[in-house]
Amino acid sequence: MLEKLFKLSEHNTDVKTEVIAGFTTFLTMAYIIFVNPSMLAAAGMDEGAVFVATCLAAAVGCMIMGLWANYPVALAPGMGLNAFFSFTVVGQMGYSWQVALGAVFLSGVCFFLLSIFKVREWIIHSIPLSLRGGIGAGIGLFLGFIALKNAGIVVDNPATLVTIGDMTSWSAVMACVGFIIITALFHRQVTGSVMIGILLVTVISLIAGQIEFQGIVAAPPSLEPTLAQLDLEGALQVGLISIVFSFLFVDLFDTSGTLIAVAQKGKLLDNQGRLPRLGRALMADSTATMAGSVMGTSTTTSYIESGAGIAAGGRTGLTAVVVGLLFIASMFLSPLAGTIPAYATAPALFFVAVLMTHSLVQIDWDDITEAAPVVIAAVTMPLTFSITTGIGLGFISYTAIKLLTGRIKEVNSAMLLLSVLFVVKLAVYG
């Protein structure tokens, strides 16, 4: 049955290899079941319900990706998008988390339709590579800023807006220790380095009496506080169009980039360098996003950590199915998730930030018309606490600079249209 379903022999693999690959991928991305609930709790959501929603959304995405698209790519609520959900849409803009979930659902619907009608290629090719890199780096810096805030390393200051916190505090010291551990383990290619770092900081804090042990295994918390609580009517407000677009835009490029990257690593591309069944893979992502928003979590996306499973030999959707089953089993670890403090997950956030800023290597720094918009987008995201604002200012500055320097041919119709829409958005809604 497995051979017929996943075509194992055709991909030169077997059940044992695929199962090992699935465990490997899960260990590299399992940190999300601890990080995502704490991130969305900042928006006022029930942490236990979000924990279950995170596991279920990941399981749904992995199962669809594995059984329908037959790719060894795992999905879960995305880093960066969860921060945008909590700290920008809810925290800064003042929308309820129910409305934010509605926006996530609508972005999933749009993503699904783009995948069906194959508009995705037009959008992807319309956005300059440099700007894509700047947006990815900006989201990374945004996560890094949140990590420093959660650890108490950066605090507010009435004179300078922000300043350094008490570096001798337990949270600051443990966050630094956790980051060093994660980085060192990652360099040594230890599977699950981020997960190990989070758990080690938690264990040290337990031994020191800084936190209380709440257990490891228990029945999953109730999903009722977040299940079907999304507010679609509220999300259809004109002012939320740019929010829906931001969720869609970031997910589209994140997913497309991840799929191509892991496909190259696993030699899954065809002779023309294209990914077969790309539409199915993207629809798996968008379907998981819609399902996740109904259950109570932010945008679900493909994880670059899937590359670890591919490196371990995973070549078919069986790898993704194994990851999905492990996420379902993880629902019984809610006491452990409740034990882990925010400063233990802060190092994981900052480490992800480091990985995301790598996209800056794609930038042609000798061309100021390319470099300036990138810096504008990357810097304004953390400083305005808004991914939408960073994307908008990046688009506007790119278009304006190209036009004023006489390089109008480098600005396509999509960029021009999006830039105008962002100008209107910033002028009318801020």
Residue 255 has pLDDT above 70, yes or no: yes
DSSP 191: T
Is residue 212's pLDDT more than 80?
yes
Q: Are 382 and 135 in contact (CB under 8 A)?
A: no
Residue 283 pLDDT: 87
CA distances to 58, 300, 320, 324, 342 from 339, in Å:
22, 24, 28, 24, 10
For the chain, give the mean pLDDT.
Answer: 88
Binned at pLDDT 50, 70 and 90, residue 299 comes out as very high
Among 348, 347, 309, smallest CA distance to 26 is for 309
Question: What is the structure's pLDDT at 121?
Answer: 65
Phi, psi of 4 (to 5 degrees): -70, -35
User: Mean per-residue pLDDT for 393-412?
Assistant: 92
pLDDT of res. 124: 65
In terms of pLDDT, which residue wins out, 240 or 186? 186
Q: Tell me how far apart the alpha carbons of residues 302 and 134 are, in angstroms, rounded to a whole number.
A: 20
Total domains present in the chain: 1
Average pLDDT over residues 339-353: 88
pLDDT band at 326 (very low <50, low <70, confident <90, very high): very high
pLDDT tops 90 at residue 4: no
Q: Which of 317, 400, 324 is nearest to 30 (CA)?
A: 324
DSSP string, 71-112: ----EEEPTTHHHIIIIIIIIIT---HHHHHHHHHHHHHHHH
> Residue 207: CB partners within 8 Å, gap ≥ 6?
none
Q: pLDDT above 70 covers what percent of the chain?
A: 96
Model pLDDT, residue 109: 93
In the structure, what pLDDT confidence band is assigned to residue 388 with cuts at 50, 70 and 90? confident
Q: Which of the four pLDDT bands, split at 50, 70 and 90, describes residue 131?
A: confident
Is there a contact between 62 and 320 (Cβ–Cβ < 8 Å)? Answer: yes
How far apart CA 36 and CA 52 sit, in angstroms, is 11
Whole-number Å distance between alpha carbons of 113 and 296? 22
- Report the Cα 70 to chain-centroid distance in Å: 22
Range of the domain at 34: 2-357+364-429
pLDDT higher than threshold 70 for residue 99: yes
Please tell me whether residue 305 adopts helix, strand or coil conformation: coil
Length of the chain: 430
More confident residue, 422 or 400: 400
Query: Is the pLDDT score of 287 beyond 90?
Result: yes
Output the DSSP codes for 361-396: GGS-TT-HHHHHHHHHHHHHHHHHT-HHHHHHHHHH
Spatial CA neighbour of 39 closest among 73, 1, 2, 90: 90
Does pLDDT of 393 surpass 80? yes
Over residues 153-171, mean pLDDT: 91
pLDDT band per the 50, 70, 90 thresholds, residue 238: low
Residue 429's pLDDT band (boundaries 50, 70, 90)?
low
Q: What confidence tier does 180 reach under pLDDT thresholds 50, 70, 90?
A: very high
For the cut 70, the answer to whether the pLDDT of residue 263 exceeds it is: yes
**Lowest mean pLDDT segment, chosen from 73-87, 97-111, 155-169, 263-277:** 263-277
What would the pLDDT profile of 352-372 be if each residue is shown by its tens digit? 888 888 888 888 999 999 999
pTM of the entire predicted model: 0.82
Rounded-to-integer distance, Cα 327 and Cα 301, Å: 15
Q: What is the pLDDT of residues 27-48, one digit of tens each?
A: 888 999 999 999 999 999 999 9
Worst-scoring range by mean pLDDT, 157-166, 249-258, 267-276? 267-276
Segment among 58-62, 228-232, 243-247, 254-258 with least mean pLDDT: 254-258
Q: What is the pLDDT of residue 266?
A: 74
Under the banding of pLDDT at 50, 70 and 90, the label for residue 273 is low
pLDDT higher than threshold 90 for residue 5: no
Identify the pLDDT of residue 33: 93
